[in-house]
């Protein structure tokens, strides 16, 4: 068990074993440093005072106090070595309750070791207060609340196993089973001769409901790599965006501008071809909640995160290189992907646009992930780039599917399809 003692001299950490004697700490300190609570590392010189012989003999009551942090203006400074990192940590005097949860998440995950992976070695990690580069206390608190608990980690692990071994095992919940059930229903409405309008509507509704339910299920599990999300959406993109007739993978694009001395071949993960042969770029990222807007305002506005800005810049470069490739690029791409296109349809590079699918504007429980002000600023960003790209969240996709399903059900009701309201 650990407790923190905060006073004018700084912060001390008091440790007493929950299971038996704490004498092992002293034995360890006599020749080495010691790890406490799997998060803190102390040397013998960090002891507030060394235990007396009498205290060492009373093992049931034996406690150790270590100097954790020293006063540093409006902050408490913790030497990085005490947290197992190369960065000193400064925590503001105000706004924090000193408990183990400030340093460790579920299953003893060290908070500051995770943060240290994102900053330069030797630089300070500043939490709260007014120093330049400080992480605001409310943002740090939100991050602590969002660290996955044991249940979430178990679900993530289960989903990862299912994703990796799904081709070899029969998981209880399998998207292939959903698809096969849909196909069975679809076959059941096929008859000799032409289908009636009600039957066509019923088949279409089932198709889009399958797509919606599959995306919902994957969002609920929150698992999968970026490549796995791309593969999943590949099955549905032509349904959701019917103007496209082909999806091209691993598309080479010539870049003659990054290094004028030699040509570089870039590679698009995915591209779309519409009914007239025009090619567009598509970028599919994982559905994280926090990749759209920064949490803090810049001059009274919410600005894009590094992830969103980077994805936009990446797409802009692909569009630039495609446009510069011109007629030569059209011929090369048409020859390369001829087998995937309708006979006689050439690929055209005619002012291509980009489609970006990333992030979420709703939380897993359905509540809003962005405030009204953030949603407004996100819409401003979307419209700024509307002439060259569409920025779509995964929740936008779900809303689009819901609208399609609602429209189909209205038309099916007018046509008298069975089972429609």
Q: How many CA atoms are closer than 13 Å to the CA of 356, on its beta-carbon side?
A: 25
Specify whether 225 is located in the same domain as 125.
Answer: no
How many domains does the chain fold into? 2
Q: Does any domain span residue 256?
A: yes
Is 408 part of any domain? Answer: yes
User: Does 69 share its domain with 204?
Assistant: no
Eight-state DSSP code of residue 47: B
What is the Cα–Cα distance from 77 to 187, expressed in whole angstroms?
69
Q: Are residues 188 and 46 in the same domain?
A: no
Same domain, 103 and 251: no
Q: How many CA atoms lie within 13 A of 332 on its CB side?
A: 11
Residue 420 inside a domain? The answer is no
The phi, psi pair for 230, rounded to 5°, reads -65, -45
Do residues 138 and 223 share a domain? Answer: no
Question: Do 262 and 340 have their domain in common?
Answer: yes
Asked whether residue 421 is assigned to any structural domain, the reply reads no
Backbone Cα Rg of the chain: 29
Residue 184, token pair as written in the block: 């069975």
Asked if 384 and 260 sit in the same domain, the reply is yes
**Local structure of 418: helix, strand or coil:** coil
93 and 135 share one domain: yes
How many helices and strands (H and E) does the chain possess?
12, 13
Residue where a domain stops, chosen among 88, 123, 147: 147
- Do both 195 and 49 map to the same domain? no
Q: Are residues 67 and 193 in the same domain?
A: no
Burial-class residue 68 by CB neighbours within 10 Å (0-12, 13-18, 19+).
Answer: buried
329 & 250 share domain: yes
Q: Across-strand partners of 11?
A: 6, 69
Q: Does 319 fall in a domain?
A: yes
pLDDT tens, the chain, 421 aa long = 899 999 989 999 999 988 778 899 999 999 889 999 889 999 999 999 999 998 898 888 899 999 999 999 999 999 999 999 999 999 999 889 999 999 998 778 899 998 998 888 889 999 999 898 899 998 888 888 877 666 556 555 555 555 544 444 444 445 545 555 555 554 544 444 445 567 778 888 888 888 888 888 888 776 567 777 888 788 788 888 889 999 999 999 999 999 989 999 999 999 999 999 999 999 999 888 788 998 888 888 999 999 999 999 999 999 999 999 999 999 999 999 999 999 999 999 999 999 999 999 988 788 888 999 999 999 999 999 999 999 999 999 999 999 999 999 998 888 765 555 5
Q: How far apart are CA 118 and CA 139, in angstroms?
A: 16
Residue 46 neighbours by CB under 8 Å, 6+ apart: 66, 67, 82
Q: Examine the fold and report which residue of 124, 147, 170 is the final residue of a domain before the chain moves on.
A: 147
Domain limits for position 76: 2-147
Q: Which of 147, 176, 199 is the last residue of a domain?
A: 147
């Amino acid at each position: 068990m650990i407790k923190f003692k905060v006073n004018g001299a700084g912060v001390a950490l008091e440790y007493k074993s929950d299971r038996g004697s704490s004498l092992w700490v002293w034995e360890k300190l006599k020749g080495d440093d010691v790890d406490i609570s799997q998060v803190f590392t102390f040397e013998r010189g960090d002891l507030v005072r060394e235990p007396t012989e009498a205290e060492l003999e009373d093992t049931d009551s034996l406690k150790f106090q270590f100097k954790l942090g020293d006063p540093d203006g409006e902050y408490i400074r913790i030497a990085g070595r005490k947290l197992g990192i190369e960065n000193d940590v400064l925590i503001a005097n105000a706004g924090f309750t000193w408990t183990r949860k400030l340093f460790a998440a579920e299953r003893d995950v060290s908070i500051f070791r995770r943060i240290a992976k994102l900053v330069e070695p030797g630089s300070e990690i500043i939490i709260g207060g007014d120093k330049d580069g400080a992480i605001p206390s409310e943002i740090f608190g939100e991050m602590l609340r969002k660290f996955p608990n044991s249940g979430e980690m178990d679900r993530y692990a289960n989903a990862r196993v299912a994703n990796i071994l799904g081709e070899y095992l029969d998981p209880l919940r399998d998207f292939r089973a959903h698809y096969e059930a849909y196909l069975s229903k679809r076959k059941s409405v096929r008859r000799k001769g032409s289908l009636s309008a009600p039957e066509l509507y019923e088949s279409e509704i089932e198709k889009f409901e399958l797509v919606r339910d599959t995306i919902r299920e994957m969002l609920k599990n929150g698992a999968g790599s970026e490549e796995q999300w791309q593969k999943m959406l590949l099955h549905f993109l032509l349904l959701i965006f019917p103007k496209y007739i082909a999806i091209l993978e691993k598309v080479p694009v010539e870049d003659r501008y990054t290094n004028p001395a030699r040509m570089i071949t870039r590679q698009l993960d995915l591209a779309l071809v519409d009914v007239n042969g025009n090619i567009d770029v598509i970028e599919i990222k994982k559905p994280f909640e926090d990749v759209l807007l920064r949490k803090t305002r810049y001059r009274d506005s919410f600005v894009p995160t590094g992830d969103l800005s980077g994805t936009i810049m990446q797409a802009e470069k692909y569009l630039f290189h495609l446009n510069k490739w011109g007629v030569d690029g059209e011929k090369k791409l048409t020859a390369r992907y001829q087998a995937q296109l309708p006979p006689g349809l050439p690929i055209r590079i005619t002012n291509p646009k980009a489609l970006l699918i990333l992030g979420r504007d709703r939380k897993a429980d359905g509540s809003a992930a962005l405030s009204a002000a953030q949603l407004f600023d996100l819409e401003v960003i979307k419209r700024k780039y509307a002439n060259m790209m569409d920025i779509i969240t995964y929740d936008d996709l779900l809303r689009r599917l819901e609208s399609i399903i609602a429209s189909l059900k209205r038309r099916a009701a007018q046509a008298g399809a069975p089972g429609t309201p």
